[in-house]
Amino acid sequence: MKTEHDGERPGISRRTLLARTGAAAAALAVGPVLGGVQPAMAASWRVPGEDESHRRTWMAWPSSYTIWGNLLSKIQADIAKLAKEVAKYEPVIMCADGSSAASQARTACGSTVTVISSIPVSDCWMRDTGPLFRIDDAGGLDAFGLNFNAWGENATTFYGLPASAYDKDRTVAPKVAAYGGAPFAKASVVGEGGGIEYDGDGTLMATESCWLNGNRNPGKSRSQVEAELLSRFGASKMIWLPGVTGQDVTDGHIDGTARYIRPGVVMVQLAGAVRPDVWTANAQAIRDTLAAATDARGRRLQVLTIEGPDTLPRIQAGKRAEFLSSYMNWAVTNQAIITTQFGDTAKDAAAKSAIAAAYGRPVVQLNLDNLYGNGGGGAHCVTMQEPNR
């Protein structure tokens, strides 16, 4: 096992700076590991890279006024827009919280998106709440969950939301797996799918700020967390990256800054002029760490870079520093990459060209300002792929 370097409600943005709570650092709540932990499966199982073939994409329809307040309809509009785009390239199943929400989602998303009401959801962040699907060489499929605890209970610490607001999302993973006919197990660590990147070929990368955090994995060492993640993902090497603690509700998820394109190739977004200094420095540190890294196969990583936008012309000046201005938080589909555009014409075009060249697939850029701004998450955060086998 190898390791590399050792009017609108303000309270719902997943990346609102902690300063808005009136403290430079918060005492973060500790969430328990959910019960029923099972041993990790055999090493022949692996989570495929996102560039591999998908059976479908899973999403979740937001319908909680407790969480979103008056912004709910705007977030729903962006979720519907994204779901309809993903459905052009692969099937989409949208989980909705009951028959009324399902009816609303069907009207908004149209007939190309399959909406089900049998899996109750609290919110839209399927990347963090859903299961990680695995395959093996014999054509098997199973899944595991990362014991979602509302980002280390930061939803309560940051925004004052009751812990019960996310009760349904804490049980989404096994229900999605069961719908797909996949045996399910719970990992012995707590985290989120957006907090880890995997190439499907033996290598993981993640930020220490998410996983080695007392609000998720109190009392666990880095080696313990690493061993469990490697075993679950069917990987043999972890690249630990610097992160940012206490500046957003996720504690610095990796999927807004660095992503695998394919085994041996990663892309990093260096911050544009609108990002606060803490994120600018962190992006450069992640780039530098990856440039010096090798993967599980001994390959020196090829590190591609793009730059974030320098301006957000559609966003009020006072809200720009909190906006998730990340092209990286894209959704991979079987035939296209779906990301965002921010209205910075030159940077939008450069990012689209670079991502298309890296993947060899068309890139679709959507205006998802409400999701990325008021929601603080993006296309990757609200989608979870189920692989073909």
User: Which CATH number is 64's domain given?
Assistant: 3.75.10.10
Query: Phi and psi dihedrals of 142, rounded to 5?
Result: -145, -175
Mean pLDDT of 342-362: 98
Count of structural domains, the chain: 1
The band of 2, judged by pLDDT with boundaries at 50, 70 and 90, is very low
Residue 9 scores a pLDDT above 60: no
Q: Does residue 38 form part of some domain?
A: no
Q: Does residue 140 form part of some domain?
A: yes
Whole-number average pLDDT of the chain: 90
The catalytic site residues sit at 381
- 204-230 pLDDT, tens per residue? 999 999 999 999 999 999 999 999 999
For 246, the 3-state DSSP assignment is coil
Q: Does residue 34 form part of some domain?
A: no
Q: Does residue 31 form part of some domain?
A: no
Q: Does residue 85 form part of some domain?
A: yes
Query: Whose CA is closest to 248, among 339, 315, 326, 305?
Result: 326
The pLDDT assigned to 41 comes to: 43
Residue 300: give the domain boundaries. 2-21+43-387
Q: Sign (positive/negative) of CA torsion 33, 34, 35, 38? A: negative
Do residues 256 and 378 lie in contact, with contact meaning Cβ atoms separated by under 8 Å? Answer: yes
Q: Does residue 29 form part of some domain?
A: no
DSSP state of 142: E
Amino acid at position 162, single letter: P
Between CA 130 and CA 176 the distance in angstroms is: 7
Q: Does residue 193 form part of some domain?
A: yes
Q: Does residue 26 form part of some domain?
A: no
* Residue keyed to tokens 């989608």: 383
Of all residues in the chain, what percent carry a pLDDT higher than 90?
A: 81
Do residues 223 and 123 lie in contact, with contact meaning Cβ atoms separated by under 8 Å? Answer: no
Q: Of residues 147 and 23, which shows the higher confidence score? A: 147
> Distance between terminal CA atoms of the chain?
27
